[in-house]
Structure 1
Amino acid sequence: MKYYRQIAFLFLLVFVSVSMATSKSSPSLRDFKGDSAKVWVFFTDKDTGGKSLSDAARRSLSERAIERRRKAGIPLEIADAPVNDSYIEQVEALGGRLLRKSRWLNGASFMLPSGLLEPVSALPSVKEIRPVGKYRRPIEPRGRHIPDAPPHDGDYGATLDQLELMGAIHLHDLGYTGEGVLVGFLDSGFRLTHRAFDSLDVVAKYDFIYNDTTVDYDSLAGDHDRTGYRHGTQTLGCVAGYSPGEYMGAAYRASVALAKTEDVDSEYVTEEDNWVAGIEWLDSVGADIISSSLGYADFEEDTPYTIDDLDGNTFIVTIAADIAARLGICVVNSAGNERGGSWGTLVAPSDGDSVLAVAAVGLDHIIAPFSSPGPSADGRIKPDCAALGYGAVLIDAEDTMGVVPYGCGTSFSCPLLAGLCAAVKSANPELYGYDLALAVRRSGDRYRAFDPAYPADSADNDYGWGIPKGPVAAGLYKGFYGRVIDAKNGEPLCGVMVNLDYGAGSRTVYSDTFGIFVDPLAEEGDPVVIAVPGFYIEDGLSVDGYGHAVFLERLGSAASIQVFPNPVSDSLTIVVYDSDRARFSVYSMDGNLVFDKTFAFVSSKRFRWDLCNQAGKPVANGVYLIRIAADDEEIIRKIAVIR
């Protein structure tokens, strides 16, 4: 009887062990039929071997990385400690071949014969096994786009427009060029023979495909892709290129660290463990900002990811990117070129809630026809912001000089934005991680809503919060944000010259396709007078960091109605020349009707509003919209009541 009880007990143990092992494997592995599988093995805990967390973490981090954490006020944590080597050895002892370790994820990627999946799952140290994600390619450039405007000459050469769009040149003029900032790159390779890289400060470089320090084409290592360096070379130039009169990057004095993580040959798949290894390595060398013009979609059949997993918490690369942001790194990633394609939306890790996802626009500020739209699967606005990626000027990776005009892709808007982040950080060394990303995002030309009735000037899932402005992101200026509108028909005035007079000086900017204009050098509190050719001037405004909807009356057609004074403290006078009656309406800025009356004129063409509401009580100080309709003419104007 005892003998049978022992057999039953042993059978129960085996049954429980197999059941637990099976439950540790992802569903796609339970029915796996191949000879071997590339998998992630995640472990239950870390053992620092009796060492303090600080001592264990120092095995993984450079002094520069530790100093970055100290300055950012981010303490070392268990994610910094290396993976327990004894756990790795247990898997290797069973026959697994180690590929990559991840201290952040507390795991490692292995090549496992299919017969080892259950034995490895049964190890007490193993928490979970899941396949390594396999994707078809990095984000590809999307041909050429020739803008209407010709390239500019001067020190910036043909790159002036793409930098001026973000206000980067203003930062350079103030001496903020990325000096002292380390920008890390995750890409397909880098060739450094172009003269724009002659003064480049390369702190570190590593090839995660062939496990050496050659990031260019390397035939001795078996590199099969002779031109894989093109993509990375051009993204690097967007940040750190320096060839006055020919090509200038957005942060041309920044230092760089280069990680070759992707194989761009179309016959090969890209696997996520190299990207994770690359971003952890960039953390270890002390990167402040990471530019990743790579994204993951179009998965192989054995990779269990779907669009629904773009929730900021599921993709391995997204989890790693968010950890990097938590540890004080500003992570900038391309939103993707999937608009209109089978995938049709963001690519990972741009779905991360702490990742600055970058869309592509043209010089006309219109979203590129390929730029991936959001939102994330959990409904967050994505992408976060936009930069030039439809007609960008790039370094010629096949030559030692020269440029390639009209490059297209979020692959290039991403490093331009990362370069702006570096220039902003050189002006604000105390900004780290997501705080730096937020400062840049909040300077976007769609961050300030100008008119609730006009959604095109608010954040959305095409543009995010719009095109950032460097001087505002750096906190050097408040910036003046506005949208000019024809008061006659309510339509935005697109592509017009906007003259801004601040009393002590004036500047001229141009409105974009949505009528939006930004002067990133405006000082807070400055009074401003706005003049657009063909329209009456608008005064009474001041720079306050908010968005202003500026309704302008056309000369001639709108001259028959005049309103004054503005600001008003006693009563508002309205003159209507060419009509016998007019309807006068006053609205609060949140759209509520305050006063409404129709005036009939007998002898005088003038009437006055005594600043009282419909009930006869004085209105509060503040800004109001007034509407005056007379026959077939109508004006809308913003007034300020100040007593």
Structure 2
Amino acid sequence: MMDTGYDLNHFAFQRILESGRLIATHDFINGDDDVSDYGDFQQEHGTAVFSIIGGFDEGNLIGASYNANFILGKTEIVDDEIQGEEDNWVAAIEWMEALGVDVISSSLGYIDWYDTSQLDGNTAVITVVADIAASFGVVVVNAAGNERNSSWGRIIPPADGDSVIAVGGVTSTGQLYSQSSPGPTSDGRIKPDIMAQALGVWGAYYSSDGYRTFSGTSLSTPIIAGGLALILEAHPDWSLDKLYNSLRLTASNADVPDNDMGWGIARMFDMFAVDGYFIVVEPTGIVNQKDTVEIAVALFDSLSSPGGNHDIRVTLLAGTAELIGMPVPDGPDTLTQSVYFPFPGIQKLEFYDRVSQLSKVIEILVYGAMDIEFAAVPNPARDSVVFLFELPHQTETEISVFTPSGEKIVLLKVPSEQTTRGKNRKSWNAKNNSGGKIASGIYIGYLKTAFGCQTTKFAFVK
């Protein structure tokens, strides 16, 4: 992280120093490695911000990612606002990237030599460099700023970067912090991206080795940065796109993001468990033309427990199926998608989870009314009759025999497991439902299947 300076003698940082997890420091203002050489107000902001992400003083303060390794840059002059500070920030991020940093927490930004028309993600030097760092795989987290009520009235660079996570602020009750900078960017993108507590945040105070509350998006930023460090530790294979999308889509305002709250308050535990999975319960029976089928989706989190955070969308990839609305909850851990099949043929559906970025494609064969081969042999028959029929798929089948006047003589049922795709046969001993032999004469065979019906005429001679 880069900031004003740090009181490294504060007890909150003792654990980091004793365990050798302060990897590197550099003062870009004075050109040396001492980032705590002022025992005055210059240390206040950096000390507080650093403690919120990395401090550990059990009973007083536990930082968001207190067991991480840290790199500290001193870039900001408290009593001045000059372009040299932006240059320091740029030099610091280049230095940190070269050292292999994973996450950068920056509670700084510059507006004095820019105007809001330049918040397009491609103009401010600090923004361009932040996006470049992100292109190298660095997670750049920056404060949205506290300019809501100022003449500037917008987020501050580099929070306008499309690859920068801009952090706004809320109160302890989840209400918008009154000074948190809003979006949008000048090219119309929603900002901020995410929210965390900014009013009354507990942190280390440089002058007394004690603690007090601080306010501003400078304090919400390390909360998010520390949380993302933990997420990356749990999911080291995640790309930046996966990380950013998961952060947004699990937040409290994900369904209706806006330029005040962005995607809402971060839900880090939900994000941790977001890399779950889902199972599409494919239809097991025959699907016929004009059927409406409910397809169930079972949801699981990354710990294989039912539930998790998902945003399932269904798309027709091939065929004529019609999706009826969106997937709807059917219990706490299941969704149901209704699908209507107006025509026969192969239907291909994709189930995609926008949160875990997993997809499942299923194929459903829909059968329509069709001509089915059906015959009785020999014809004329003596003693017994063999019914021959052909099926496109296993299915329960019924064969009825009628007299020409419509009297049903017998009903023969063939269970699905006794049929096969292709040619089938069913023998009949020419006895009626009462067990008596049928009389000589003309009879009509009627075949009923899930794929359609067919008749055949045959003669029986005693």
Both proteins in one fold, TM over 0.5: yes
Q: Is the 8 A contact 1:469 1:520 kept in 2?
A: no
From 527, 535, 542, the equivalent of 2:332 is 542
Unaligned runs of 5+ in 2: 278-300, 309-328, 337-462
Alpha-carbon distance in 2 for matches of 1:267, 1:465: 31
Q: What is aligned with 2:201?
A: 392
Shift of 1:359: 0.3
Q: How has the CA–CA distance of structure 1 residues 476 and 352 changed in structure 2, closer, same or farther, with 3 Å as cutoff?
A: closer
Shift of 1:396: 1.7
From 211, 217, 226, the equivalent of 2:37 is 217
1:377 aligned counterpart, secondary structure: coil
For residue 180 of structure 2, what is the amino acid of its counterpart? S
Matched, 1:460 2:460: no
Matched, 1:318 2:127: yes
Shift of 1:395: 1.0
Matched, 1:418 2:225: yes
TM-score normalized by the length of structure 1? 0.43
* Offset from partner CA, 1:51-106 (integer Å, 9 cap, x none): xxxxxxxxxxxxxxxxxxxxxxxxxxxxxxxxxxxxxxxxxxxxxxxxxxxxxxxx
Higher relative contact order (CA closer than 8 Å, sequence separation 6+): 1
Q: What is aligned with 2:248?
A: 441
Alpha-carbon distance in 2 for matches of 1:337, 1:369: 9
Q: Whose helix fraction is larger, Structure 1's or Structure 2's?
A: 1
For residue 37 of structure 2, what is the amino acid of its counterpart? Y
For residue 26 of structure 2, what is the amino acid of its counterpart? Y
Alpha-carbon distance in 1 for matches of 2:248, 2:304: 18
Q: Is the 8 A contact 2:273 2:303 kept in 1?
A: no
From 46, 61, 75, the equivalent of 1:247 is 61
Alpha-carbon distance in 1 for matches of 2:242, 2:127: 18
* Offset from partner CA, 1:600-628 (integer Å, 9 cap, x none): xxxxxxxxxxxxxxxxxxxxxxxxxxxxx
Q: Whose strand fraction is larger, Structure 1's or Structure 2's?
A: 2
Shift of 1:186: 1.2
From 153, 159, 166, the equivalent of 1:350 is 159
For residue 541 of structure 1, what is the amino acid of its counterpart? G
From 15, 22, 25, the equivalent of 1:202 is 22
* Offset from partner CA, 1:581-602 (integer Å, 9 cap, x none): xxxxxxxxxxxxxxxxxxxxxx
For residue 403 of structure 1, what is the amino acid of its counterpart? Y
Matched, 1:272 2:86: yes
Report the RMSD for the aligned CA atoms in angstroms.
2.7
Q: What is aligned with 2:385?
A: none
From 251, 263, 268, the equivalent of 1:470 is 268
Larger Rg: 2
For residue 103 of structure 2, what is the amino acid of its counterpart? I
Alpha-carbon distance in 2 for matches of 1:395, 1:420: 19
Q: What is aligned with 1:515?
A: none
1:366 aligned counterpart, secondary structure: coil
Provide runs of 4+ in structure 1 moved above 6 Å: 519-522
TM-score normalized by the length of structure 2? 0.59
For residue 345 of structure 1, what is the amino acid of its counterpart? R
Shift of 1:441: 2.3
Q: Is the 8 A contact 1:346 1:372 kept in 2?
A: yes
Alpha-carbon distance in 2 for matches of 1:281, 1:419: 20
Shift of 1:391: 1.5
Alpha-carbon distance in 2 for matches of 1:254, 1:419: 9
Q: Is the 8 A contact 1:197 1:241 kept in 2?
A: yes
Shift of 1:522: 11
Matched, 1:260 2:69: no
Q: How has the CA–CA distance of structure 1 residues 359 and 433 changed in structure 2, closer, same or farther, with 3 Å as cutoff?
A: same
For residue 416 of structure 1, what is the amino acid of its counterpart? I
1:390 aligned counterpart, secondary structure: coil
Q: How has the CA–CA distance of structure 1 residues 267 and 285 changed in structure 2, closer, same or farther, with 3 Å as cutoff?
A: closer
For residue 422 of structure 1, what is the amino acid of its counterpart? A
Alpha-carbon distance in 2 for matches of 1:476, 1:337: 31
Q: Is the 8 A contact 1:329 1:434 kept in 2?
A: no
Alpha-carbon distance in 1 for matches of 2:60, 2:116: 42
